Amino acid sequence: MGKNISPHVNIYKFPVTALSSITTRLTGLYLSGLFIAGGIYQFTDQKETLYDRYMKLSDIPQRLFNYSIIFPITYHTYGGIRHFIWDKYPSLLVNKSVARSSYILFGGSIFTTIMYEKFCVKNKIN
């Protein structure tokens, strides 16, 4: 039997500003773990480098791998730039403009990720 949910959970939707803040923290955590794991892997006595393993992947897994690295780097960098701007101009910290910048941050990161993977990564590898 399900318990009743507190009414405030149904009334309020999760704000995009909270999602963008959480995503910035998660991308930083993910990138830290990724770089640490990659460094540890390179210190192990592997006959095959990460690049060799990457090149053996078919197209779709390669793309997913590219996106899994490009998006967090892009999002975290853009989020950091946004915070530098807010530190310089605290008057921009108004609910409406913060929400708008969160949508721009998500959209800009997704757009940059797709364009970078499509035009830069694939051209360099092939």
CATH number for 95: 1.20.1300.10
Structure tokens at 30: 């993910």
Residue 12, domain member (yes or no): no
User: Is 8 among the domain residues?
Assistant: no
Per-residue buried b or exposed e for 55-76, using 16+ beta carbons within 10 Å of the residue's own CB:
eeeeeeebeeebbebbbbbbbb
Residue 4 resides in a domain: no
Write down the pLDDT at residue 52. Answer: 86
Q: How far is CA 11 from CA 3, 6, 118, in A?
A: 17, 9, 41
Residue 21 belongs to some domain of the structure: yes
Cβ-proximal residues to 8 (8 Å cutoff; 6+ apart), any chain: none
Count of domains for the chain = 1
Whole-structure pTM value: 0.82
Query: What pLDDT is attached to residue 8?
Result: 63
Per-residue pLDDT 10s for the chain (126 aa) are: 566 666 665 666 788 999 999 999 999 999 999 999 988 888 887 788 888 888 899 989 999 999 999 999 999 999 999 999 999 999 999 989 999 999 999 999 999 999 999 888 766 655
Which amino acid appears at position 75 of this protein?
Y
Per-residue confidence (pLDDT) for residue 77, from 0 to 100: 97
SS3 12: coil
